[in-house]
Copies of this chain bind each other. A is one copy, B any other.
């Protein structure tokens, strides 16, 4: 891959531009689906590199660089920030009070733009089509769906493969890949159950939703403890259970907010059915006067890396970064909506992780067994990837992956 060497030499020369861009993005975070300034900035750069740019799904931006016949590769970066008040004290900290790039999406943008710039600059070293897709609203699971709903599949050339990446609080310089599930499917569910209110001294006139909700919470535990095959990944969390406001008034309803996580689509369906069965059964046991209500929201699909694609990309990473830097990633329990993009086209994909913690800090924390305490993870107000070499490596990763399909 002679092209690659060439590219990466350029990369080093261009880093100052990319660092400035990253800091600018970090200073100007925008909440999900409101990434107007960010989208404009991305469009400006892509256009400058020579990509054909479209807006899809509101603040989604896609650049397409056609470079002769060949395969089509789609790389995706997510672009939204979080409602977190930054506490890093960095000189490029957020200037948008209460909003922060606490999940590293700014680094995703900067590295994909960096990759696009180099792909455009080295068109002679590869052939085919490079699609740089910048997706809004990942944090709320709204953005990928918005792009799909806006006709993504019809508006873009169909890719042969799609890539996503995410910075993670691992040792900087490392890249994690794995075939199969790498991020869980995540579903949120609001359950409303109905009782009959009464004065607290007259329970016989009531159907007590507080007791009903308690029974449901305990019974839901059996989905994981009894109904799921031991050792199979499944989480059913009741994150919130709320009913009533006064000690002496029996309320007329209770509300539960559930979150489920799975790596297996059939199991996910079965758990949803079990939740509804349990809730309905408990409502019947309580003599509830109205049917319970189920409202699903914040639904993240499973991120399930294609085996052949992952093998190919892992081999390319091994060759480029050296085997010691590329590790077998354990699936994480977090969720993403990236896979809706390749699923809209019906094409294989792989998603990898990029370490962002200075090596000495990371190793010391591992030695002390204090990783979770000492190292600010994504969503922390202290989250701050080491720009060097994280930004360079994330950029290289995008290029290496693209060239694995496009290099001549």
Contact = CB atoms under 8 A, between A and B. Distances in A.
Interface string A362-393: 00000000001000000000000000000000
Interface in A216-261: 216-219, 221-251, 254, 257-259, 261
A13 interface: no
A24 B188 CA distance: 55
A333 interface: yes
A204 B226 contact: yes
Interface string A191-224: 0000000011111111010110111111101111
A20 B219 CA distance: 54
B215 A221 contact: no
Contacts of A228: 204
Chain A binding site: helix, strand, loop or mixed by DSSP?
A: mixed
A173 interface: no
A184 B228 CA distance: 17
A201 B235 contact: yes
A244 to B, nearest CB: 3
Contacts of A188: 247-248
A240 B244 CA distance: 4
A401 B261 CA distance: 43
Q: How large is the interface on A (under 10, 10 to 19, 20 to 34, 35 or more residues)?
A: 35 or more
Contacts of A176: none
A171 interface: no
5 contacts: A203-B230, A223-B225, A225-B236, A240-B251, A277-B285
Interface of A: 184, 186, 188-190, 199-206, 208, 210-211, 213-219, 221-251, 254, 257-259, 261, 263, 274, 277-278, 280-287, 298, 331, 333-335, 372
Shortest 9 CB-CB contacts between residues of A and residues of B: A281-B285, A240-B244, A231-B233, A201-B333, A281-B284, A214-B217, A247-B257, A214-B214, A200-B237
Given A201-B334, A239-B248, 15 more contacts: A200-B239, A200-B259, A201-B237, A205-B372, A210-B239, A215-B215, A224-B225, A224-B230, A231-B231, A237-B248, A238-B244, A240-B243, A240-B245, A280-B285, A282-B282
